[in-house]
Amino acid sequence: MKEEIVTRFAPSPTGYIHLGNVRSAIYPYLIAKQAGGKFILRIEDTDQARFVEGATELIEETLSWLGMKWDEGPEVGGEHGPYFQSERREIYKKWAMKLISAGRAYVDDTPEEEIQKYREECNARKVPFLYRNFRPEKLKFEWVEGKPIRFLSDPKRREWKDEVMGELSAGPEVQDDIILIKKDGLPTYNFAHIVDDAEMGVTHIVRGVEYLSSMPNYLAIYEALGLPRPKFVSLPHVLAPTGNKKLSKRDGAKSVTGYRADGILSEAMLNYLCCLGWNDGTEQEIYTMDELVSRFSVEKIQNSGARFDETKLLWYSGQWIRKIFDERGVDALYLRTEGFWPEEAEGASEEYKKQVLSIIYDRLRVLGDLKTMTGYFFRDPEIKIEMIENNKFVKKMSELERALSLRKTAEILGEIEEWNAENIQAGLNRALEETGRKPAELFSLVRISLSFAEFSPALNLTMEVLGRETSLARIRKVITAISNE
C-alpha cells in the first residue's frame, strides 16, 4: 500500500505573518495536494512570552484567503488533535518519559546562575557553550515538575539527505544536551516538532534553511526514539531586494496582511510566492492553483536565496486583475473591490461602478488603486489651470486657442443624439478637423478638463461612462475658467 503523503504548516502565533512564512505554507500544501495527501495546520504556541492575541486567527484568515484549506487543524479538527502545542503537554511528557526510561533524558536541576556563569566562562575563552561538557557526573533519570528535562546526547558524525540542499553531514562538535521540556512544563521547538510530526504521521517537513544547523540534534532524538526520518525539505531564505540578507520589515516589505489591505489579489500573492525560488523549467509565469498543484515539484526548488521584488509582485497582481476580468467578466472582478473605492463612490450604484471598473481595470496594479484613479468619476474634479499649462502638448496652445478648441468640441459633442463611445469618438474626430488641432493637443486638453488626473482611460470611454451632461458641464466649466484667467 502506497504511503500517504502528509505535510504540515506549523507557525508560531507571534503576530506579524511575513512573506517567508507564507511561502513555507504554500510548498507543503502543494506537495500534499499533488499526491492526494493531507495538509495539517498546527499552532506552535509554546513560547507564551511572544504570544500575540489574535495571531492564530490571522494565520487562519491568511491561509483561507490564499485558498489553502487544511485537512486537519484548528476549526476543522481531525484525528490527531489537539492542534495547539500548549494543549499537548501530556503527549510531550509521555514521549519525554520514553527517553528518560531509556536513559537518554535527565532532569536538569543545576541552578541557572551556575549555568550562566559557565556560559560566560565559555564566552571569555571564546569556545562554544556546550552543556554536555558541564553536565553533572551523576544524572537523575526522572521527571521533576518545575525542572527542565535535557536530552543526553551521543555526539557523533551524522549524515542526512535534504531534498533541496542535497547530501549533508555534521560532526559531533555541534551536538549538545539540548532542553526538551522547559521548567514551565512546555516543550521546546527542538522536541515538540519531532513528537508532533511523529504523532501526526508527517512524511515531509518543509521549513527554512535556518534549521539546518540544528539537524544533528534532531537526528539524535529521532534515533533515540526509534523514529524513522521523514523527508526534509529546506527552503532558502527570501532575500531583501539588495540580495545580501534575509528579507525583514526594515527592508520595506509589508506583511501579507498589509499587501492584502493594499488590494493585492490572493491569486497573485500565491502565484508570486510560489515562483519565488521555484520554476518548472518553462517560460510560464501565471499559474492558477490547479496548475501549481499539478506542476509543482520539490526538485525544481532552487537551493539559493530568492530576492524579493515588490515591482514583480505588483505586476503579478495587475496580471491577475486582467485575467479575472477577461475570463470571468466585470461582475467577478467587482466582487473583489469592496472597500477599495474612493469615499465619493459611496451611494453610487453598482451598475455605475461596474462601468467605471470595466474601463479602468487594465490600469490597476492593485485594487487599492481604485481610490486614487477613479475619484473624478464620482465628483467634479478641482480645476487646476497649471495642469493644463504644464501639459507638454497643451502648453503649445495660447489661452484663446484652448478656449476656442474646447468651445468647438463641446458644441460638436452636444449635437450627438445617441451618447455612446462610437458616436463620441466620431464627434472628437470631427472636432479635430474643425479646430485644426493635433490629436495629442486637443485630446489632452479635453481629457484634463474631464478628470484633472495624470492618467485616465480612453477619452471616448471616459465620456461615455461620465454621461453627456457631466462631460459637457465639465468642459464648459474649464472654458469659463480659462476665459477668466
Q: CA–CA separation, 354 vs 368, rounded Å? A: 16
Q: Which residues of 389-414 are buried (b: 16+ CB within 10 A; e: fewer)?
A: eebebbeebeeebbbbbbbbbbebbe
Concerning whether 249 is annotated as a catalytic residue, the answer is: yes
Query: Among the options 140, 249, 300, 395, which is catalytic?
Result: 249
Omega before residue 82 within 30° of 0, cis: yes
With 0-12 / 13-18 / 19 or more C-beta atoms within 10 angstroms meaning exposed / middle / buried, residue 299 is: exposed
| Residue 389: half-sphere exposure toward Cβ, Cα within 13 Å | 8
158-162 and 166-170 as β-strands: parallel, antiparallel, unpaired?
antiparallel
Q: Which residues, at least 6 apart from 44, have a Cβ–Cβ distance to it below 8 Å?
A: 10, 11, 12, 85, 189, 192, 193
* Start-end of H helices in 141-243: 189-200, 215-225
> Which three three-digit cell numbers place residue 183?
521548567
The number of beta carbons lying within 10 Å of the beta carbon of residue 446 is: 25
> Which three three-digit cell numbers place residue 367?
485594487
Determine contact, residues 116/129, Cβ cutoff 8 Å.
no
* Start-end of H helices in 35-77: 55-65
Q: Report the catalytic residues.
A: 249
